[in-house]
Chain A
C-alpha cells in the first residue's frame, strides 16, 4: 500500500507545482487586457472546466440613482433587460437561454448596474450574441414590465414577514438619512407603480455605456478570444453622461430606534462609521473586525454571547462599503427578554477591544485565516469572476491581493487597537431593533411604519 501511494504522491506533487505556482509569485494570475475599442478587461484563464463566466459592471448606475418617486427603477430594469431584445420576444429570448444552458441575468446594487453571463464554452458565441442583444436592443415590452412589477411588489409584501429585512430597511433609512442611499434599493410599492416602459428605455440610454463599463472574465477562454468577443459584445455601446453622488457619514449616531412587531425574537442592528477600502488603515480595520465579530466561531462577540451564554444563534460584525459611505455593522437576534442584556454585553466588548490591545495570539490567528483562506475564494469560475469585478469596481490595483497579503502579514496589535479606538468610539453608533424587547436602558425612538416601503 505504502509503495503505491508514494508513487502517486510523487506524480501529484509534480502536477500541483505546475498548476499553482504563478510565474511572478502572485496569488492570482490576472491578465489585464485592452480591447481594440478601448475596453479594459481583467481575465483569469482556467481551462479545467468547459465553462466561461463574465461579469460586466456599469458604474454610477445603481439603485441610488433612482428618482425618489420611482424607487425600483434600476431593479426593474435589471429584471426586464433579459425579457426580450431585438427580434426575440420575452418568451423566445428566455427559451434561447434555456435551450443553450446559458445563464444570463442583470442586477442592480446601490452603486452600479451589472450583467452576469455563464455559459458552456461550446455555446459561447450564442451566449455573447444574446448578451449583446439584451444590452443594445432591449424591448422593455409593457407585458414584461407589468409582470416584473407584480413580482417585485409581491417580493416587497412578502419581505414584510421577515424581521431581518425590516431591520435592514430601517437601518438604511436611518444611517443614510437624506442621501440617495436611504432609498429602498428594491423599490417601493408606489414607486414601482410609477415606472413604465419609457422610464426603462430612458434608464437604458442614460446608463448602459462604454465609458462607465468594467469587465471581468474567468474560465475556459484565451486572451485573444476574450478581446475579440468583448469588442463584438460591448464595442458598439455609446458613451454616457455620468451623475455622481455626495460622500456621506453615518447619520443619527447616538440614537436608538424600535419598530415594534409581535414576534418572539428581536433583531438588532448596530451601525458605526466605517472605513474606505483604499484607506491606509483599512487592513487594520479588517483584522480588528475579524477578532471582534466577523469570524463567527472564535470571534469575541460569538464567544461571549453565543458560546458562553447561549443568547443568540448568530452575532456578526462586518465592514460594509459603498462608493460614498463606509460602515461597520453588528447584527444579531435574541429572545425579546434578552435584548437589554445583549446590548450591554456588546457594549462591553466594544470598550474592551478599544481600550486594551488584542493578544498576539488573536492577531496571529486572524492573520492565518485572512491570508490562508483566500484560495477558498478561487475555487469556481463564478467566484473568480465576482472577485475580479469587485476589485475593478472598487478601483483597486491589479496586484491588490498581494498588497493585502503583505499588509496583513505586517500587522501589529497597536494598529489593531488604533483602528478599534477610531471606529468604535463610545456613542458613535445607531441601534435599530425590530421585535418586542422588554425595558431597555436606552432613549428609544419608536417607529410607527417602515419608511420607503409603501
Chain B
C-alpha cells in the first residue's frame, strides 16, 4: 500500500520533471502531470537511489525534492554554488565569514525582518535545528523542522537570499568569533596546521590550496564591504539549489517554492572559473616538527580528477578506494598494519565530489621503532603493485557490490540524502549521476582501475602534478 502509492507519485513527476531543466519552466511541468500506468513505475524507479524529483523555477533556481515519509519532519537546504574558491585574492575566509553574518539579521518574505540571532532562535521555537557550512565550491544553509513549519522556513531562507543586513556591531563581534573558530579548529591542533600546509603545497596557484576558514592574517583584515560585495555577486536564485527531504510531496514543495523563491529576480552571474596549477618542476617533501606531537604521521597527497572533471576515472577511483581502504580487511590495513606490522593505522581518502580537482591522500602512523622511510616505501609499493600487476577482477566485483549496498544504507536518513544530492549538484554533477551511481559503478573494470592508477598514482612516473609527501613528527627533546 505504502510503496505502490509512493512510486505512483514519483512516476507522475518522473515523467515530466526530468532533466530538461534548463528549458522547462515550472508551469510547463505542472501541465504535463498525469498519472502513469502502474506497471511502468517500478521498472523506471528501480535503479534510482533516492527517487528524488527535480524542477527549475523561472528565475533559474533549481529545486530537488526527496520524499521520505518516515516521520513528520523535513530537512530544508539552500545551496549556493559559491564557496571559498570564488574569493578575491587577499580575502581568504570571506565566504565563511559571510556565512556567519547570514544569521545576523535578515528579511523574511511576507513577514517582519529578523533581528540578529533571531533566525536560529525562531527555528528552535519551531522545534527544529539549523546550521550552515562553507566549502571550497559551495555554501549551504539548512534547517530540520516539523513538516508544518516548512513554509515559514522557506520564507525566512528566501528572505536572506537578497535581504541580509546585519548591524555593524554584530559584523565586528562576529569576526572575533571567527578568530576563535580558527584557533579551535586549526591553531590549537598541530595536525590541522600541518594539513593546511600540505594542501597549500599540493594546490599551487589553485584556490583549493587556501584554507576555507582563511589565513589568519587575511581574516583579520576582512570587512563588511568585502562580505557585502561577495554576497551581492554570488547569492542569487540562479546560483542556488533548493533541496527538501522529508514528509512532503514534490508538488507541494514546488508550489511553495514558486510562490516564495520564484519571486526573487535572477541576476547576471560571472562564469565559475578557477585558477589551475602549472605542471610542477619539483616534488615537495614537507616536514613539520612540533613539541606537542608524540608520534610521527605520514601523508602522501596526490592530485586526481573529480567526478565533475572525469566521471569514469572518478568511478574507477571510488572502487580503488574501496579496494584499498574499505575497512580492516581491505588491502592497505591488511598489508601494512596486519601483515607487515609497520603501522598502527593506514588508510586512503578520496572524495570525488568537487568542482575542480580532487585529491587522494594515503596516510599511516608508524609503530614505535619503524623508520618513516620504510613505511613510506611500503605504502608506495602498494601503488607499484597495482601499476604493474593490476587488481583482481573478483575483488573489483565484490567491491562494486559493497558500494552498491552502501547506497541502500544511504536512504536510511532524513538529511543524509539531501546532503549527498546538494553536494553533488553544487559540484557540477547531475541528479542522474547520483541516482544511477550504483548502476554506473557497475561498469568499472580491473583494467580501468589499473589505468587510472598508472596515470595519477604511479610513484615512479609521477603525473605532472606529483604527490606532496608530508611528515609530522615530534620536536627533538631539549
Binding site for B on A (CB under 8 A): 1-2, 4-5, 7-9, 11-12, 15-16, 18-20, 46-51, 90-91, 94-95, 97-99, 101, 118, 120, 143, 147, 150-151, 153-154, 157-158, 160-163, 261-265, 267, 295-298, 303, 306-314, 333-335, 365, 368-369, 371-373, 375-376, 378-382
Contact = CB atoms under 8 A, between A and B. Distances in A.
Given A298-B117, A298-B121, A369-B125, A120 B405 contact: yes
Given A95-B329, A101-B405, A334 B180 contact: yes
A98 B329 contact: yes
A1 to B, nearest CB: 4
B413 A297 contact: no
Interface string B153-175: 00000000000000000101111
A157 B368 CA distance: 11
16 contacts: A5-B251, A7-B251, A19-B70, A51-B408, A90-B338, A101-B409, A118-B409, A120-B408, A160-B292, A161-B190, A263-B188, A310-B177, A311-B180, A312-B180, A365-B121, A373-B127
A154 B345 contact: yes
Interface string B89-118: 000000000000001000000000000110
Interface in B114-170: 116-117, 120-121, 124-129, 144, 146, 170
In the complex, the 4 A-B pairs of residues with the closest C-beta atoms, listed nearest first: A372-B127, A310-B176, A310-B173, A297-B120
Nearest to A121: B408
Given A11-B249, A16-B69, A19-B2, 4 more contacts: A4-B251, A101-B406, A151-B345, A303-B117
B248 A12 contact: yes
Given A154-B345, A265-B187, A12 B73 contact: no
Contacts of B462: none
Nearest to B254: A5
Nearest to A334: B180
Contacts of A263: 187-188, 292
A48 B412 CA distance: 9
A313 B180 contact: yes
Contacts of A306: 177
A303 B402 CA distance: 46
Nearest to B327: A98
A18 B412 CA distance: 20
Given A8-B249, A9-B249, A1 B180 contact: no
A372 to B, nearest CB: 2
Contact of A369 (B127, B184, B250): B127
Contacts of A371: 127
Contact of A160 (B26, B144, B176, B294): B294
B24 interface: no
B344 A151 contact: yes
Contacts of B188: 163, 263-265, 267, 333
A94 B121 CA distance: 46
Contacts of B30: 1, 4-5
B367 interface: yes
B69 A379 contact: no
A313 B9 contact: no
A164 to B, nearest CB: 8
Interface residues of B, number: 85
Given A298-B121, A313-B184, A379 B71 contact: yes
Contacts of B71: 20, 375-376, 378-379
Contacts of B401: 101
Contacts of A298: 117, 120-121, 124
A97 B326 CA distance: 12
B258 interface: yes
Contacts of A162: 189
Given A8-B251, A94-B329, A381-B412, A161 B191 contact: yes
Contact of A375 (B72, B117, B189): B72
A365 B254 contact: no
A98 B331 CA distance: 13
- The CB with the most chain B CB atoms within 10 A, among A264, A308, A333, is that of A264
Nearest to B256: A5
A295 B124 contact: yes
A308 B121 contact: no
Interface string B360-389: 000001010000000000000000000000
B233 interface: no
A372 B152 CA distance: 15
A48 B116 contact: no
Given A9-B252, A48-B69, A158-B295, A382 B121 contact: no
B179 interface: yes
Nearest to B181: A313
Looking at A7, A295, A373, the one whose CB has the most chain B CB atoms below 10 A away is A373
The listed residue with most B CB atoms (<10 A of its CB), out of A46, A101, A313, is: A313
A310 B175 CA distance: 7
A371 B126 CA distance: 10
B251 A335 contact: no
Nearest to A377: B71
Nearest to A7: B251
Contacts of B70: 19, 46, 48, 378-379
A28 B129 CA distance: 20
B337 interface: yes
A376 B129 contact: yes
Nearest to B414: A379
Contacts of A8: 9, 249-252
A381 B408 CA distance: 12
A311 B176 contact: yes
Given A5-B252, A94-B327, A161-B189, A372 B173 contact: no
Contacts of B5: 11, 15
Contacts of B402: 98-99, 101
Given A154-B365, A312-B177, A376 B73 contact: yes
A314 B367 CA distance: 36
B180 A310 contact: yes
Contact of A309 (B117, B173, B248, B293): B173
Contacts of A7: 251
B205 interface: no
Contacts of A90: 338
Contacts of B117: 297-298, 303, 307
B412 A51 contact: yes
A194 B48 CA distance: 52
A161 B192 CA distance: 10
B463 interface: no
B191 A147 contact: no
Contacts of B278: none
B247 interface: yes
B447 interface: no
B33 A4 contact: yes
Interface string B17-45: 00000000011001001000000000000
